[in-house]
Structure 1
Amino acid sequence: MPKILIVGGGYAGFYTAWKLEKWLRPGEAEVTVVDPLPYMTYQPFLPEVAAGSIEPRHSVVALRRHLKKTTVVTAKVTGIDHASKTATITPEVGEPWQFDYDVIVVTGGAVSRTFPIPGVADQAIGLKTIEEAVAIRDRVLTNFDKAANLPAGPERDRLLTFVVVGGGFAGIEVFAELRSFASSLLKYYPQLSFDDTHFHLIEAMGRIMPEVSLPTSHWVIKHLAQRGAEVHLDTQLTSAVDGRIELSTGETFESDLIVWTAGVMANPAIVRTSDLPVEERGRILTRADLRVGDEDDIVPDAWAAGDIAAVPDLTGGGVGGYCVPNAQHAVRQGKLLAKNIVAVLRGEEPKQYIHKNLGAVAGLGVGSGAFQSGKIAITGLPAWFAHRGYHGLAMPTWERKFRVFWGWWNNFWLGRDIVSLAAVQHPRAAFEQFAARPKPAAEVAPAAPAKAVESGSGTKGARKTPAKAVAAK
C-alpha cells in the first residue's frame, strides 16, 4: 500500500487524516500522522480558555480517539528528504529513525513571530497553544490573589496591569476576554476595585482588526474604552525588560503579564529541515490544488496546506495573493487536500482550492462580540451569539461539540470557575517540601596511630608495626 505521511496534527493535518479515513477504500493507502502533541488545538477558543469560559481539555481533540484508522506518532519530524522520500522522526525519548513514505503532506502550522525587543523573549507569553492559554488564566487569578493582600501602590499596580501586544483578531479577543474576566473577578475580591485593574493593548498600525471594516474596528475601540481598557494605536513596544513596559510614545509602566499576539510565521523547525521549495516569507511554495510547487513545476507526491503553506487565494481577497493564515482556510484546505490525494491515487485530477472568506466574527467577552460579512456588520450581544454558534459548530466531532456547549450552559447558571492551578507547573513542589530523605552518612573518625612496641616487650612472637620496623632499622 502507498504510505501517506502527514507532518503535523493541527487543523489541516487532522482534517486531512480524518477525511482520508472516510474516503479511502480498505487497503488503498496507509496513513501516518506525526506531531509532538497527541491532540489538535482549536485555536479560536484559546481566548475563552484564557478567560475561564471554556475548560482547556474541551478545546482540544485527541488524535488517537478520533483517528481510528490512522497511525499516530507522538514525535517531531526533524528532517524531510523528499528526493529519497524519507523523513527523520525524533521522539522525545529514544533514538531518531528514518520513515519511508510514498506521499508526504506538510501541515506543520505556524509559531509566534517575535522581534528582537529587549525583554520580550524573557517576559512575554504567546497564545498559540493550550498550555499558554492555561498559563495566562492562572497568572490572572494568582495575581488577583496576591494583589488582594497588598496596599495600594506600585507592586499592586504591577500585578493588576495586563498588556497585550498585537491588534489582530487573536490579540483583540484575548484582550477583551481578559478584561471581561477581570471585571467578573472583582466581586470575589472586596479589597480591590475596578480602577485598580489596568489593561493596555499595543498596536503598531493605525487600526485594529484589519479583517473587519473601519467603522466596526472603531466601535470595538470605543467599546473597550467604555470597559476601562486602553488601546494604543501607532505605538510600538520598545522594551519589556523585567516587566517594565516602554512604548515608542515615551509612556512607561510595569506589568506582570505580557501576551504577545503580533504575528505568526511558518514553523521553522519543519521548513528549514526539508528540501521542499520555500517562498520569500518562509512558507512552503504551494499550488492552488495544494500540491507543492508553482504554476510551472510540480513536486510529485508532495502536498501542503494550512499556515505553513503559501496557497494562492484565487478569490483575490488574500494578502499578497495568498490565503491568510487562519482556521477557516486551514480546515477547508485539509478537507480538499484529502479529496485531492484520493483523486490522484485513483488517476484523477485534483481540484483547486477556492474559498471566499465568509466573514469574521470575534468574541469580546461574555455578552459582547463583533461580526463582519461583506458590508454587513453586527456588534454587541447578537454578534456574541454568532461567535459562539459558529465556533461551537465548527469544533470537530460531536463529542467535542457537546463538551463545549455543555460547558457554556453550566457557566451560564454557575458562573466561571475561578480556581488557579498555577502549581501544576511544579507539581512535585508540595511533595518535595515534606518528603523524608535519608540522613547523610556519619563521618568516620580517622583511626588513632598504633603505639610503637619496644623491642623484646609485649607478647612473644608479636609482629612489629611498620613504625617499629622503621625504627629498628
Structure 2
Amino acid sequence: MDRILIVGGGYAGFYTAWGLEKLLRRDEAELTVVDPRPYMTYQPFLPEVLAGSIEARHAAVSLRRHLRRTRVVAGWVTAVDHAHHSVTVRPADGPEFALGYDTIVVTAGAVTRKFPVPGIADEAIGMKHVEEAVAIRDRLLTAFDRAAVLPPGPLRRKLLTVTFVGGGFSGVEGFGELLSLAHALLARYPGIEPDDVRFHLVEATGRILPEVTAKPGRWVVRSLEGRGARVHLNTVVTSAVDGHVVLSSGEEFDSGLIVWTAGNAANPVVDHHTDLPVDGRGLVRVRADLRVGTDAEPVPGAWAAGDDAAVPDLVTGSGSYTVPNAQHAVRQGKLLARNIAAARHGGAVKPYRHHSLGSVATLGLGRGIFQYRRLTIKGPLAWLMHRGYHVLAVPSWERKVRVLAVWLTAAVFGRDIVSLASVEHPRDAFVSGGDPK
C-alpha cells in the first residue's frame, strides 16, 4: 500500500486528497493530510465573513467530515527529509515526531508577507484565516459601541479609523466589505456621523487590483473614494507604533484597526527546511505535470501544487509561472489527484494548463467588478456574479446550502451586528464576577 502524505490542507491539499479518495481503492493507498487547522479555509469568503454576510464556520470546510478515508494529523510540518522519505511534525501538545511516506505532496501554501515596520507586529491583523476575519469584524463592531458613548476627540477618532495595508484582491475586497458594514452600522448609531468614520487603503504601487487592467482599477479607486474612503497610492506605512500610522507621504493619523494584506511570502518550511529543489523565491520547483523537479532531473515520489509551488504557466508561456490564487490552486489540486492516480495505474499524466475565467471582486454589498479580457462589468451585476461563482465553487453541497441560507436570511432581516469580541477573553466575566471594577 502506497503511503501518500499531503503537507497542507488548503485548496490544493484538500482537493488532492478528495480526488485521490475517489480515484484510488482503499487497498491501494493510505492517505494522510498534515495541517495545524482541521479545516480548509475558503478564502474568497473571508471578506464576507468580515462583513457578517457569511457565518465564519461556513467559510471553513471540515477535513475530517469530507475526507472520510484520509487520516488527518493536526500539527505543523517543520522539516521534509525526502532523502529518507520522512517529515517531522510538531503537534500543539507533546513532542515532535516523524511520519514516513512513499509519496509526498507539498501543498503547504504561502504565508502573509511581512515587513519590519515598527508597530505592525503588535497592532495589525492579517486576513488569511477565518479567525482573523472574525476578529476584524468584532473589532469594528466593538469600536462603534465604544465610540458611541465618547465625546468628539482623539480617542473617538482613533476608534472609528480603519487602515488596510495592501491593495491586492484580498485587501480591496476586505476593505470594500468592511466599509459597507461601517456604513450600515451608522443607521444603528445616531450619534455617529458618516464623516466620523475614516477608512484608509494604503498601496505601495501606483494601482490597486493588479489582476485587472489599469482602467477598471482606477474605477475601483474612484468608487471607494466616492464612498468616503481614502486610497493612498505609491505610499507605504513607515510606522504604526501604538496605532499611530505614519505614511511615507508624510501623513499621520491614529487608527484603532490596522489590517495587513500586503501579499504572500514563501512558506518557511518549503523555503528553509526541505531537501526538495527550491527556486530563488522559496517555491518548490515543479514540472508542468506537477511532479517536483525538472524535465531533466525529476524527483521520484514527490509532487507539489498551490501557492508554494513554481508551476510553469503554459498558457502565457515566456517562462512565467501561474499566479498564486484560488483558481489555480483548486484546479492544480484536482489535476494532481488525477496525475498521481494515473502514474500509479500506468497511465499518462497531463500538464497543467488553465485559461483564466476572468477576475471578479466584491466591493461591498451590491457592489462589485468583473473583467474577462476586454469585457468589464461593474456594480450589482458583478456583485451577483461574484456570489454566484463562489457559491458554486465552494466544495460540497452541504456548504453551498448553508451559505445560501445565510444570504437569504440576511436579505430578509438585514446584517447581524452582534460582536462576540469577548470570546477572545472568555474568563474575564468569570473572574470579575460582573464587577466592572
Query: TM-score normalized by structure 2?
Result: 0.97
1:410 and 1:353 map into 2 onto residues whose CA distance is 40
- Asked if 1:405 corresponds to 2:412, the answer is no
Is the Cα–Cα contact under 8 Å of residues 359 and 373 in structure 1 kept in the other structure?
Answer: yes
Is the Cα–Cα contact under 8 Å of residues 86 and 98 in structure 1 kept in the other structure?
Answer: yes
Moved over 4 A (4+): none
- Asked if 1:334 corresponds to 2:327, the answer is no
1:332 and 1:65 map into 2 onto residues whose CA distance is 21
Is the Cα–Cα contact under 8 Å of residues 77 and 270 in structure 1 kept in the other structure?
Answer: no
2:16 and 2:431 map into 1 onto residues whose CA distance is 45
RMSD, aligned α-carbons:
1.2
What are the residue-to-residue correspondences of 1:345-360 with 2, within 5 Å?
A: 345-360=344-359
2:108 and 2:79 map into 1 onto residues whose CA distance is 12
Highest Rg: 1 or 2?
A: 1
2:85 and 2:177 map into 1 onto residues whose CA distance is 45
- Asked if 1:217 corresponds to 2:214, the answer is no
1:317 and 1:45 map into 2 onto residues whose CA distance is 31
Residue 348 of structure 1 deviates from its aligned partner by 2.3
Which residue in the other structure is 1:21 paired with?
Answer: 21
Q: In the alignment, residue 419 of structure 1 is paired with which amino acid? A: V
Q: In the alignment, residue 184 of structure 2 is paired with which amino acid? A: S
Indicate the larger mover: 423-432 or 31-40.
Answer: 423-432
Which residue in the other structure is 1:134 paired with?
Answer: 134
Which residue in the other structure is 1:291 paired with?
Answer: 291
Is the Cα–Cα contact under 8 Å of residues 270 and 284 in structure 2 kept in the other structure?
Answer: no
Residue 244 of structure 1 deviates from its aligned partner by 0.8
Is the Cα–Cα contact under 8 Å of residues 162 and 256 in structure 1 kept in the other structure?
Answer: yes
1:211 and 1:9 map into 2 onto residues whose CA distance is 25
2:159 and 2:291 map into 1 onto residues whose CA distance is 49
1:8 and 1:321 map into 2 onto residues whose CA distance is 25
Which residue in the other structure is 1:6 paired with?
Answer: 6
The verdict on how the C-alpha distance between 1:317 and 1:368 changes in structure 2, with shifts beyond 3 A counting, is farther
**Structure 2 residues without counterparts, runs of 5 or longer:** none
Is the Cα–Cα contact under 8 Å of residues 78 and 270 in structure 1 kept in the other structure?
Answer: no
Which residue in the other structure is 1:446 paired with?
Answer: none
What are the residue-to-residue correspondences of 1:310-459 with 2, within 5 Å?
A: 310-316=310-316, 321-434=320-433
Is the Cα–Cα contact under 8 Å of residues 107 and 308 in structure 2 kept in the other structure?
Answer: yes
Indicate the larger mover: 92-101 or 112-121.
Answer: 92-101
Query: TM-score normalized by structure 1?
Result: 0.90
Secondary structure of the residue aligned to 1:83 is: helix
Which residue in the other structure is 2:182 paired with?
Answer: 182
Is the Cα–Cα contact under 8 Å of residues 317 and 356 in structure 1 kept in the other structure?
Answer: no
Which residue in the other structure is 1:62 paired with?
Answer: 62
Which residue in the other structure is 1:148 paired with?
Answer: 148
2:79 and 2:329 map into 1 onto residues whose CA distance is 23
Secondary structure of the residue aligned to 2:320 is: coil
Secondary structure of the residue aligned to 2:364 is: coil
What are the residue-to-residue correspondences of 1:33-48 with 2, within 5 Å?
A: 33-48=33-48
Percent sequence identity is 61
Which residue in the other structure is 2:168 paired with?
Answer: 168
Residue 433 of structure 1 deviates from its aligned partner by 2.0
Which residue in the other structure is 1:464 paired with?
Answer: none
Residue 195 of structure 1 deviates from its aligned partner by 0.7
Residue 270 of structure 1 deviates from its aligned partner by 4.2
Q: In the alignment, residue 119 of structure 2 is paired with which amino acid? A: G
Which residue in the other structure is 2:112 paired with?
Answer: 112
